[in-house]
Amino acid sequence: MKICFLAILAALLLAGDAIAEPAARGKCHSACEKAVKKCYKKAGHKWGAPLANPPAPIIVCNKAFGACQSTCPRS
């Protein structure tokens, strides 16, 4: 799971340069989405598929995704 977290952290750092404009916001969210999809894939799951009781690696992916999304410009 460290690899997934590092991938999402890298996306966070790349997204941090985004300014609050629609295109930059879209790029930021897209980078977060790509990172979480990789994280899910490495955990053996598909992003977007609902899980009643997600395993620990998926919870880590979800938390990192939330952190990444929170760094994106809001307007």
- For residue 18, the model assigns a pLDDT of 47
Tell me whether residue 46 is in a domain: yes
- C-alpha 34/C-alpha 14 separation (Å) is 12
Containing structural domain, residue 32: 2-70
Tell me whether residue 16 is in a domain: yes
- For residue 13, the model assigns a pLDDT of 64
Residues 6+ apart with CB under 8 A from 66: none
Check if the beta carbon of residue 39 is closer than 8 Å to that of residue 63.
no
In tens digits, the chain (75 residues) has pLDDT values of 666 777 776 676 665 554 457 788 889 999 999 999 999 999 999 988 888 899 999 999 999 999 999 999 876
Tell me whether residue 34 is in a domain: yes
- C-alpha 3/C-alpha 1 separation (Å) is 5
Tell me whether residue 54 is in a domain: yes
Tell me whether residue 22 is in a domain: yes
Total domains in the fold of the chain: 1
46: left (phi over 0), alpha (psi -120 to 50) or beta: beta
Tell me whether residue 75 is in a domain: no
pTM score:
0.68
